A and B are shown apart, each in its own frame.
Chain A
Amino acid sequence: MAKITFIAPDDTRYDVEAETGSTVMEAAVRNGVPGIEAECGGACACATCHVYVDPEWQEVTGEPEAMEEDMLDFAYDVRPNSRLSCQIRISEALNGLVVNLPERQA
């Protein structure tokens, strides 16, 4: 298990427990965190689970792969710390992860 914190654009914090092996997107959907739409259900085929990884965690979560970069082209206000949360897999190393939610999903 890992504790993940989602921070909405209005600074509301959502602390959720995420199961190892699941994804940050699944943790958001299971716990009803608003702002993660995940239209394609986690197939890396849309860009509606876009998050900004807290800069302190960027090294641990790593860089997006080529396919995810392609999908990020469809997201709104993409920044260097942008990721699709369905592509961040939960491990013990991510315990305490903080991600920011964008103002809207594409």
Chain B
Amino acid sequence: MLSNFVETDVVIIGAGPCGLFAVFELGLLDLKCHLIDILDRPGGQCAELYPEKPIYDIPGLPEVSGQGLVDNLLKQIEPFAPEFHFGEMVTEIERTEDGAFRVRTDTGTALLAKVVVIAAGGGSFQPKRPPIAGIENYEQKSVFYSVRRMEDFRDHHLVVVGGGDSALDWTLNLQPLAKSVTLIHRRPEFRAAPDSVNKMFSLQERGEILFEQGQVSALKGENGHLESITVKGPNGEVDIACTRLLPFFGLTMKLGPVAEWGLNLEENLVTVDTEKFQTSEPGIFAIGDINYYPGKLKLILSGFHEAALMAQAAKRIVNPDARVVFQYTTSSSSLQKKLGVI
């Protein structure tokens, strides 16, 4: 059974700046890392929320953009060849008989690691639930926030809400399958790629989809089965009959499955000690915005410091018999060899 698991020293949950820098600190100690992130690319909040915004408090970098910092970190950890698993969420961490961890994701990735590092920031990015009264009663029955199987929408009267790429892409992709498609957006301008917007308008001209300007204000239907929605637009309210709704209202951060791993938490943050940044479960560490200890500051630089100390403790778990010699990258030829600079 264990043959299905990919073995590694450390699994890092979250590929934001702290997760990435942890690869560096662990790599200097010869520990091999796999990173898992729910987003489709590295960088976490830096890449998702503020790629263009300048950051001014990274030591030694007077000004760097969110994406710039991520690019630099990726370059810095290149010598350690970490393996990335994007678009996946860790659902399960289970301790093995010999004290290692089996880590599974929602897409079936299975890893076996001696150490787990939670560097999940504000939690996992998940689709935002639009604040429409009672919407939770329809979720996964007739309201969906993502398309897992296109077949689920065949022969349905579909309403897609939003003006971004997800909304436009799914309007176009599901139009051939659905019985009818109505796109709803609060204004006539779209932030989606102009090509998709043009395609959508030409389908609308041919009468193959409907576009309605406005905001969804109410849902109707019994037992989670949607029958119609009310749309408040510039010319008042209209009811649109539909059996499937796909609202795209961006992403928000949720702690998610981290809360179910039996770790001590304080206000949705994982409590750690300040020597090793270890959680209440030996071998599971938490660094960056997701952890809590007295005096904690949610700064990227604090997460970097936490990564360095965590790595020392992780090394002792992975190689309990190894003698750990403290070394500087400026003078240690062994570290410089690992970095590929000599």
**Residues of A near any B CB (own CB < 8 A):** 39-40, 43, 45-47, 69-70, 72-74, 76-78, 104-106
User: In the complex, what distance in Å separates the CA atom of A106 from the CA atom of B129?
Assistant: 8
Specify which chain B residues have a CB less than 8 angstroms from the CB of A69 in the assembled complex.
187, 189
Specify which chain B residues have a CB less than 8 angstroms from the CB of A76 in the assembled complex.
130-131
Specify which chain A residues have a CB less than 8 angstroms from the CB of B131 in the assembled complex.
76, 104-106
Chain A contact residues, majority secondary structure: loop
Specify which chain B residues have a CB less than 8 angstroms from the CB of A73 in the assembled complex.
162-164, 185-187, 191, 249-250
Specify which chain A residues have a CB less than 8 angstroms from the CB of B253 in the assembled complex.
39
Q: Which residue of B lies closest to A72 (CB)?
A: B186
User: Are A106's CB and B186's CB within 8 A?
Assistant: no
**Residues of B near any A CB (own CB < 8 A):** 48-50, 53, 128, 130-131, 162-164, 185-187, 189, 191, 215, 217, 249-250, 252-253
User: In the complex, what distance in Å separates the CA atom of A40 from the CA atom of B251?
Assistant: 11
User: Are B50's CB and A78's CB within 8 A?
Assistant: no
User: In the complex, what distance in Å separates the CA atom of A106 from the CA atom of B216?
Assistant: 13
15 contacts between A and B (CB under 8 A): A39-B252, A39-B253, A43-B53, A47-B250, A70-B191, A73-B191, A73-B250, A76-B130, A76-B131, A77-B215, A78-B186, A78-B215, A106-B128, A106-B131, A106-B249
User: In the complex, what distance in Å separates the CA atom of A104 from the CA atom of B135?
Assistant: 15
Specify which chain B residues have a CB less than 8 angstroms from the CB of A105 in the assembled complex.
131
User: In the complex, what distance in Å separates the CA atom of A39 from the CA atom of B49?
Assistant: 10
User: In the complex, what distance in Å separates the CA atom of A76 from the CA atom of B50?
Assistant: 22
User: In the complex, what distance in Å separates the CA atom of A26 from the CA atom of B299?
Assistant: 18
Specify which chain B residues have a CB less than 8 angstroms from the CB of A74 in the assembled complex.
128, 249-250
